[in-house]
Structure 1
Amino acid sequence: MLFQNGKLLVRLLEEEDQFLLAKWLSDPEVLKYYEGRDNPFHLEKVRNVFYDPEDETMKCIIVFDGKEIGYIQFYQLDAEAKVEYGYLNENVYGIDQFIGEAAYWNKGIGTLLVTSMVTYLLEHEKASRVVMDPQGWNKRALKCYEKCGFKKVKFLPKHELHEGVYQDCWLIEYIR
């Protein structure tokens, strides 16, 4: 277990979680917000993307009230990203997440998850900032992140390919 906050638990990804990831990332309702409906993940693709031993990203499963409901990952920004975003001599972490069980959407779990992960990164990884780059059209996600203390700092035009179109994103940050 990485951390627990009430009914929320975040643990490291395990081998048997590949089936959950394949289920969630083949659901069009989830893919609308994460990866795109034109980019479903079959089991082999899950293994290639999420179980690459060379990848230093910390990959985790979100558990709420004893049920696996989603995925979160965190990583230290590399030198190239730090230069691009202007974070030269700082310990900056990025996070990405999704709740794969739609029945758990709009219940405040995303807010609890993001605030808990930020606290973990500040306390355990000594992050000076935590950043994300959500797509600009995803108002629900942006509202959640702003509620968690993130601020928009840089508009990123045509930053991420999603469903065949490069989408505008926002670089948002939480500062210690």
Structure 2
Amino acid sequence: MTDNRSGWLHGELVRLRPVRGSDVSELLRILRTEEVWRRWGEEGARPGWPFDDPDAVRYAILRHDAVRGLIQYEEETEPMYRHASIDIFLDPAVHGQGLGRDSVRTVVRHLLGARGHHRIVIDPAADNEAAIRCYSAVGFRPVGLMRRYELAPDGSGWHDGLLMDLLAGEVT
């Protein structure tokens, strides 16, 4: 559900609100945890992050009024290819509590409903089994393997990504 006055989105377990300057230090702390850094690398090292990309809509993930992560989406608005893509990271301290599923489901419902998309994509690392289980639980399905898709944050080599999508009517 969306609170149109504030831009907040409400899930069953989480509340999502547009990222504020006061969130940055906690988001950077989460990005610097070993588990998140392995997947996201130096995301927060870019100047002006998380306000650096005008195409990305970013929400702080809140649980009990504490910042627990970030979820973002971007929209392809070309009519022939219209869709949205999402990305998420969570503090490892809250993994396994359903916050990821609830955050993804909440943003997906917003994108399908309020934003009028018919298709949403996400692209976890092919070896990120926990993320793939999370996205599958929301209704995403594997579309294909993208070989040597992403460079490891430590520069050690390229790894595969799994392209997954969800169509309107498939959200669980």
TM range (shorter): 0.7 to 0.9
State the SS of the aligned residue for 1:31: helix
Q: Once the 2 structures are TM-superposed, how far is the Cα of residue 6 of structure 1 from its aligned partner?
A: 3.0
Relative to the length of structure 2, the TM-score reads 0.85
User: Which residue does the alignment assign to 1:25?
Assistant: 31
User: Which residue does the alignment assign to 1:119?
Assistant: 109
User: Which residue does the alignment assign to 1:94?
Assistant: 85
The sequence identity of aligned pairs, in percent, is 24
Alpha-carbon displacement from aligned partner over 1:27-70 (angstroms, at most 9, x marks no partner): 213212x323xx474xxx25433222x52210110001221100
> Closer, same or farther in 2 for the Cα pair 1:47/1:21, shift >3 Å?
farther
Q: Is the 8 A contact 1:130 1:173 kept in 2?
A: yes
Q: Is the 8 A contact 1:114 1:145 kept in 2?
A: yes
State the SS of the aligned residue for 1:74: strand
Alpha-carbon displacement from aligned partner over 1:9-39 (angstroms, at most 9, x marks no partner): 000011121211221122213212x323xx4
Q: Is the 8 A contact 1:158 1:169 kept in 2?
A: yes
Q: Is the 8 A contact 2:9 2:17 kept in 1?
A: yes
Q: Once the 2 structures are TM-superposed, how far is the Cα of residue 142 of structure 1 from its aligned partner?
A: 0.5
Aligned length: 160
**Partner amino acid for 1:16?**
S
User: Which of the residues 153, 171, 174 maps onto 2:166?
Assistant: 174
Q: What is the Cα-based RMSD across aligned positions, in Å?
A: 1.9
Distance in 1 (CA, whole Å) between partners of 2:137 and 2:13 is 20
Q: Is the 8 A contact 1:93 1:121 kept in 2?
A: yes
Moved over 3 A (4+): none
User: Which of the residues 91, 95, 104 maps onto 1:105?
Assistant: 95
